Structure 1
Amino acid sequence: MRSLLVLFAALCLVGFVLAKPIPEDDTEATTEEPKSEDAAEQTTAEDAGGSDGEKNDDEKPSDDAASNDQPRDVEGGEDGKESPKTEGEAKNDPQETYNKVIELLDQIKVDNVENGYERSELTSDLQTYLRNPIVDAIGTVGDFSKIADCFKSMGDEAKKAIEEELKAFKECTDKKESDAYQCSKNHSTVQGKIAKISSTINSCVVSKRA
């Protein structure tokens, strides 16, 4: 009988314990734990974001550093620009000088000489005693204007020498027992005159070329 009472009392105690409600604080604590974990993760993310932000701020060049990369103005402003060539700078174009001298020489012509022997001899005299020496004299002169004065009287003097030779040639052919071929070979006088013209020009060119 006593054992039954003890068993009954034990069953009642168990039923009482099972019937007792669970405290709300424990439930709330249990349900709020994930929130704490979420908050911790959010805090960690914010901290990480803040670190990245600070890193980006550190990597961003300062205005001073950026300004250092910009090209600096040359000291002196416009005065620092490369100065253009001066107007009085020496010209150096030997080809132009050669072309202009040839143009002047080409103006001395004997194409209008009727006799073929005389015309051929005069052409040879001009080439040998005038053109060749002058072309050699101008050499590598780069500025024709420096020697232009040397050629001012060349055309008139050469023309005068040719006219005197043609006059002498005519007088020779007018004589009896004379022919044009023999008269055209007597050119020592005109050759000397043409050679003198070229010699004067050459001396002038040398003096102005130096």
Structure 2
Amino acid sequence: MMTVSTWLLFLTISLLTTFSPGPGVLLAIANCATLGPRKALCSSCGNALGILMVATLSVTVVGLLFKTSATAFLMLQLAGGGYLILLGWRQCGQRGFGAAGPGQATPAATAHAQGDWQTLRQGLLVALTNPKSLMFFIALFPRFMGGGDAGGARFVLLTATFAACAMLSHLTYIALARPVLRFMAGGRRARWFNGATGLLLIALGVSMFTLQRQA
């Protein structure tokens, strides 16, 4: 079985990785602004589910294909980058906040048009189409998995740990963002905030195209 010191090392790496703002975190903040905290949590749950799926894929034939095939890597780059650019473009078009609090304006009708499943699916797709996530697991897991009969238990422990760290980071960023969002709730400031987060999502999408495959 995995020693406590080895697990603590993986936990430290996971916390440092998940608390570094990435597409999932930025999507959660954007959804918190335009749709409210509850739906932001839906996207975070979808992102955590996507992380579990990516971790599973990284130790299967899909991970090997991704590592050895330039075509598979390029397709994932295009899918991930394109999806983030699309989300960023939509975010730039949001004119107000859906996360209205006491005394604030009523949420826009367009903010409520997006259902929980659609929001969860957004987070899921962001995780599944992020080449960085797959590269991370392909590079890191072999160093912690080890061999023997306990490999399955280690895999479950590692993936659950990383997914829990991702959820914790999202909850933290959402909680920290709420006071900022209350201050930015004015019409012009809301448009500026939505535009800024949308441009950041677009920039992250463009950065996906610059990733280099690690053989």
Q: Same fold (TM over 0.5)?
A: no
Q: Which has the higher contact order (CA 8 A, sep 6+)?
A: 2
Bigger-Rg structure (1/2)? 1
